Structures are given as C-alpha cells and as structure tokens.
Structure 1
C-alpha cells in the first residue's frame, strides 16, 4: 500500500471509467449509502481527492434540485477529467439502473399476475410504507430544529393531505416563507446546513486542499454560455422532435415536459418529488395506478442508482400500457418512454454541475443552506409523511375504504418499521425479508 504522505499516481480517464462503471452497479442504499461508498473509495482508499474538497463538492450538490449522489459523481468526474469525465461519471451512475429497471419493469408488467411474483410484491409493498416513514423521520430529525420549522412541516402536510394543493405551490410557499423569515429571524432558518467540517485527513490526495483549481474548472463567461447553450439544445431537440412527430398532447411529449418540471423540484431528494410525480402520473395523466406506483418505488429501492430512477418505471409502465407504438410493440414503447423520462429528468443535473462547478471552485469556503432551502426541507417532511399515509392506506385497505383490512400487510409493515427505525437495519435486507414473508403468506394462507 502506498504511504499516506505520498500522493497517488495520476488517474487516467479509462481508470476512472472503470471505477464509475463499477460504482453504477454497487450504488445501493439511497443517497446516504451512495455518498458513503464514494467517500470510502475516493477519499479514504484511493485518495483521489481530500476530505475538504469532497465535502465542498457535496455541500454544493446538497443545495441543488436533483439526486445529490449522482451530481457528486458528476462533479468529481468533471473536476478530474473535464466535461467528458463528468458526463461519464454521472451517466454511468444512472445507466446500469436504467437497464435493470427496464428489464424488471417488463417482468412486472408482463408476469406480475403470477403467484410467485405477486407474493413477493405482497411483502415488499408494506416494507415500502415503512421505508417512506423512515425517510420522513430521518429528514425531520435533521431539519426540524425549532418550532417554526415544525410549523412549516405541519402546514405542508395539511396543504397536500386536506386540500390536495399541488406540490410546486407548496415548495414555492415554503421558499417564500424562508426568504422572508431569513430576513426577520436569520437564526431560525440556519437549522439546515452542510455536512460539517473537514477536519479528517487520510493522507496526501491527488486533488488536495492546496491543489490549484485546474484550468478547465476556472470560471469563464464564455464557458458558462457554452454550457447553457448546449443544454438548451439538448433539451429542445428531443422535445421539439416529439412535439413535431407526435403532437404536444401525445403521451411521450407530455412525459418529456412533465419530467423536465419534476427535475427542477427535487429539493430534498427523491422522496420529496414523489408526491408531485404521483399527482401528475397517477391522478392527472393516468399513466399508472396507485398500486403500480407503490410497486415501482419498491423496484427502485431494490436496484442500484438514485431512487429518483423510479421515474423510469413510471415511463415504462405508461408507455407500455398506453401502447404508444401500437399493441405489437409495447416493450419498445415502454423502453423508449423509460429512456426519454430518464433523459429529461437527469439533463438538468449535468447542467447544474457543468455550469455551476467553476463558480464553486472559485472559492473553497463552505456552502451553507440558504433560508429558503431550509424552509423547503422542512416542508418536505410534511409532504413525505403524507406520502407514507397514502401508501399505507392502499396497502392496508387494498380494495378501498369499503374493502376489508389486510392484517398480514399490517404485520409486515410494523415489522419493517421496527427493523428500520429501532434496529437501523439495511433497507435491502428488510425488503428481502419482507418479500420472503409475503411469498410465504401468499402460498400458505391465500
């Protein structure tokens, strides 16, 4: 092993390519798990960059809409190997998950009625309810540090639960509250924040604390204009082609437009935007049913990559069921829709990094959550709690309010919640155990 005081050898583009490809297949565990994997591999073991530079990049990604782990991979890849390094790092973080989800979505939609598949999903769905509840608890414990932020969370819950207020309006109201409140009482809205100090050192790093910013990462107005222009073209060309070929009201065109908006609302992670996806994909467009939405989240939890990849499942099911290319090409329609929604969902994430990275590298001071983002994070807690109740209702009363209560689903959900909240068990292990329990119940009692 190389001594800690000696800098590692320079990393070639293809060496980095192999690592990012590997990461795409092992990035389980949601954002926290994925960031932990990158920290262990890149900071502790390989020493590609220092602790301080890693946290500096992470704090920037945390204040952006979008999946912070994927954006962090993009940032590090860009910092090390220019634009193509960032594109490869971020793309390989998503691509394996997309391919796996397309296959699993097809198995689900084509063979979901088989007893074995149905039994596995019977156990997984209550686990998903517990997982969403855990997400609300985790964010609340970090974000709700005073009565004002608790009140924002409660108001957001009431708005979406009682009055079905659209998610974008809730986010806008929270941001405005944070902006005004941050001016009147700054201390109240500094409860959020980054990931702490960067006091640890694992030895000399390839990109160390005192390593000068590489030339390509320095801010230039011409480079910023080029990134913005390229991003506009990469969005407008497929969107314009869809509108011209199929029309604005076609399923694929509406998917592109809807998930572009969703990509800009993912403050607080994937769980925060799921209610918006549900409102649009289930209630407004009818691309899939509430039960299918729960199943899609279950698949997203069990595959590598960012959880927001559940949008690929939504796209696949919508394209498949709507048979946008005719009844004889349903798989092609589903796969095309999944690829399209993935493109429109993740394109802004790449642009945020490639456009904003040079501004971030111009200073190595910590980047804090602003007051509006602190308020948005608080409102996300209420929205996610509503999502947990929504999932719980459909799992425990699968036939609706007038149907019978499902006691076995309640037992599995309670067991999963205890395992996650009390014993801090791994999400994948909990899902696997619940799937086996669901299959056993289906085979023995039904």
Structure 2
C-alpha cells in the first residue's frame, strides 16, 4: 500500500483536546481576520488546527476538504462546518458555521450601509488595488504549503494535482467530474474492490443596526425572490466561493437587474477586502437590493444548502472514512482539490495583477510570508491596503 495512503488509513479521529467554545472562538477570529479567500482559509485551518494545536488529524482535515469539494457551496465554510461536526456533531457544525460567517457578514452590512448612504465607496477601488495583489501572494504560499504537506512525494497524486490545475486554468472553473474521477482513479489503483482482480498494471460596527431592523417597509415579494435565487446559487454552484461570482453576475445584473455592472464590481471588491468566506458578498448584494433583511435573506439562503450538504453526509464520512477504499478515494479528491486551488491562484492572479506595482506587491507578499513564517496575514493585508490608497491615485492619474 502507498506510504501516503497507509498514513491516512492508520490515522483515526484525534482525541478531543479542546472545548466547543475554544473552537467557536477560533472560527470567530478566523472569520474576522482570515484574509485570502478559500485557498488561504483552508490553509489556515490546516496550519492552526492540525499542525499547531493538533485538535484534528490529517484524516479529519482531508475528509472535510474532500466533502467540501464534492458538495456545492463555498469550500471554506463547508470545511469549517465539517470540522465543527467531527467532535461536537450537529451542534458543533451549526455553531462553528455561524461563528465563521458572522464577523464578515457584519462587516459587509456596515459597508453596505456606508455604500448606500454616501453614494458609493470611491476609496474601495484603491484598497482593492493593493489588497487583491497581496492576496495573490497569500494564497500562493497557502497552496504551496497545502500541496507539499498533503501530497508529499506521491507521484500519482502529483499527476492528479497537475491535471486539475491545468483544467482549472484552461476552463477557469472547478469541475465536479474531475474530483469524482480523481477519487475513483486512486480508489481503483490503491484499494480496488474485490470484484476487480488486481493486475500488474494496477499497482504502479457602531452602525445603528436597530434602525435597519424594521419590517414595516419590507418588500416581501422581492425578499422572496432574493431567497429563492440565492438558495439556488448555494445549491448548484460547485467549487470555491469565487466560483459563485460569475453565476451571481448573470442573475443579479443580467436577469433581475438588481445591480448595475459598477455596483456588482464593488460588491466583489467588498468580498476581497473583507476577511472570512468570499461568498459573504451575497450579504452585501442583498443589502443593496433590499436593505438589512435583503442581506439576511441572501446570506442565509446561500449558506443553508452548504450547511445541509455538509452535515447530512458527515456521519457517513466519519463512520466509513477509515476504510481503505474510502481513504484512497479521499486521497484522489484531495489531490484534485488542491490542484484546482493551485489553478485558481493562476486564474485570480491573471485578473488581479494588472501592472508593475501589483506584480511587485504579490511577489513581495509571497516573499515576506516565505521568509517570516509567523508574520500575521492581517498585518500584510493592512499594509497592502495603505499602499493601494497611496499608489492607486498615482497609477490612474498617469
């Protein structure tokens, strides 16, 4: 049996060495300070909860990552929900999911209030100019760490990684068939079912929120439209939180006309300059369409399918996850998932790096995080935002 597979198979659920409130506190902090989108957030969870604190085993993490890739919805949120389930069942999954999403949701509510009351946020583009470049460096380092740690020297998984990265770059999307195919391939090669005979070929804010809570002026028809649309988006869009962006554009701009192109781009910018899961941009969009309750409806409708499609299969993942066939399947999905995340780095990088200053910011961020491994990412993001505020007016003026 392959060395990587053997290690995963031997690993069992880590003993519970933490309280539920400690886990909730961690995800509150990650939701408030975790920049970089799904790739970076998944990397932080691996670094903090598996490597440093050892609250979870590698097998726990890989099972969660595999399930998050196979089910529709935002990857980072699903991974967090699964980790909450591992030792604290449905209560843990529910509270962890809420803790992870709540900080960034409150932030986008605040930004939505400022946006609507002050006629847009001109400074946002300047901040986004700096932050989006630094984010490329952050997710590049996170992807490298995830790749080397979870794949190691496994040649088959590196081949799957390369194919998944190439497909993601070429198609600019994350394909479900690729994850399923990778899982089945490794299962058949590493732990084939008994009916297949093995052969030699098979072994190679202070914002007055109370004033926003009034229900007297709610447009219930529009609120129902928002709920239906975002529930559909959360149920059928696979991949990272970024995968939902083009889907949302076709709906909220083209189909319903709720936002203009400019407003939609500002919503994406809000997603990138706020910590936590990128898909919380749905809350900002909902606020622009129908104020506070629009934000609540959009966010809840987006995350509910993600929650259900994580906690419902989770017991079966935990019960059967140590069987050799399941371990091999998860190994294949994990390799494809990390390869797809690496491809996403290239796709996002091409879109975000527009000139010499942004290229230097991305490279500088990666170099700093490589050299100073304990440098807090929020400090890097804050510095990049300040640089953006200074450099962006100079670049646009020239």
TM-score over 0.5 for the pair:
yes
3-state SS of 1:304 partner: coil
Q: Which residue of 2 aligns with 1:121?
A: 125
5+ long unaligned stretches in structure 1: 1-6, 158-169, 195-241, 320-333, 393-408
Q: Which residue of 1 aligns with 2:200?
A: none
8 Å CA contact retained: 1:119, 1:435: no
5+ long unaligned stretches in structure 2: 1-13, 148-157, 188-214, 371-376
Give TM-score, length-normalised by structure 2.
Answer: 0.65
Q: Does 1:94 align with 2:108?
A: no
Higher helix share: 2
1:26 to 29, 33, 38: 33
Structure 1 residue 381: Cα displacement:
6.2
Mapping of residues 99-114 of structure 1, within 5 Å: 99-112=106-119
Structure 1 residue 291: Cα displacement:
2.2
Cα separation, 2, equivalents of 1:356 and 1:442: 50
Q: Does 1:145 align with 2:162?
A: yes
Q: Does 1:354 align with 2:311?
A: yes
Q: How many aligned residue pairs are there?
A: 329
Name the CA shift for 1:259/1:303 in 2 (closer, same or farther; >3 Å). Answer: same
Cα separation, 1, equivalents of 2:392 and 2:382: 15
Aligned-pair Cα RMSD in Å: 4.6
Structure 1 residue 442: Cα displacement:
4.0
8 Å CA contact retained: 1:130, 1:388: no
Q: Which residue of 1 aligns with 2:235?
A: 264
Cα separation, 2, equivalents of 1:265 and 1:133: 30
8 Å CA contact retained: 2:81, 2:96: yes
Give TM-score, length-normalised by structure 1.
Answer: 0.58
Structure 1 residue 309: Cα displacement:
0.8
Cα separation, 1, equivalents of 2:382 and 2:296: 26
Q: Which residue of 2 aligns with 1:254?
A: 225
Cα separation, 2, equivalents of 1:340 and 1:43: 34
Mapping of residues 412-431 of structure 1, within 5 Å: 412-416=357-361, 418-419=363-364, 429=380
Structure 1 residue 307: Cα displacement:
0.8
Structure 1 residue 126: Cα displacement:
7.3
Name the CA shift for 1:438/1:46 in 2 (closer, same or farther; >3 Å). Answer: closer
Name the CA shift for 1:285/1:123 in 2 (closer, same or farther; >3 Å). Answer: same
How far does the alpha carbon of each residue in 1:287-317 deviate from its partner, in whole angstroms, 9 at most, with x for none?
2222222222222222222111111111111
Name the CA shift for 1:272/1:438 in 2 (closer, same or farther; >3 Å). Answer: same
Structure 1 residue 91: Cα displacement:
1.0
Q: Does 1:285 align with 2:256?
A: yes
Name the CA shift for 1:109/1:429 in 2 (closer, same or farther; >3 Å). Answer: farther
8 Å CA contact retained: 1:131, 1:427: no
How far does the alpha carbon of each residue in 1:417-444 deviate from its partner, in whole angstroms, 9 at most, with x for none?
5546787796973675355444566499
Cα separation, 1, equivalents of 2:185 and 2:358: 30
Cα separation, 2, equivalents of 1:152 and 1:51: 25
3-state SS of 1:368 partner: helix
Deviates more, 1:423-432 or 1:307-316: 423-432
Cα separation, 2, equivalents of 1:122 and 1:262: 29
Deviates more, 1:431-440 or 1:130-139: 130-139
Cα separation, 1, equivalents of 2:16 and 2:161: 44
Q: Which residue of 2 aligns with 1:305?
A: 276
8 Å CA contact retained: 2:37, 2:241: no
8 Å CA contact retained: 1:128, 1:294: no
Q: Which residue of 1 aligns with 2:79?
A: 72
Structure of higher CA gyration radius: 1
How far does the alpha carbon of each residue in 1:123-177 deviate from its partner, in whole angstroms, 9 at most, with x for none?
52476489689989999x997735x9857864x46xxxxxxxxxxxx98xx667x
Cα separation, 2, equivalents of 1:379 and 1:430: 20
Q: Which residue of 1 aligns with 2:69?
A: 62
3-state SS of 2:162 partner: coil
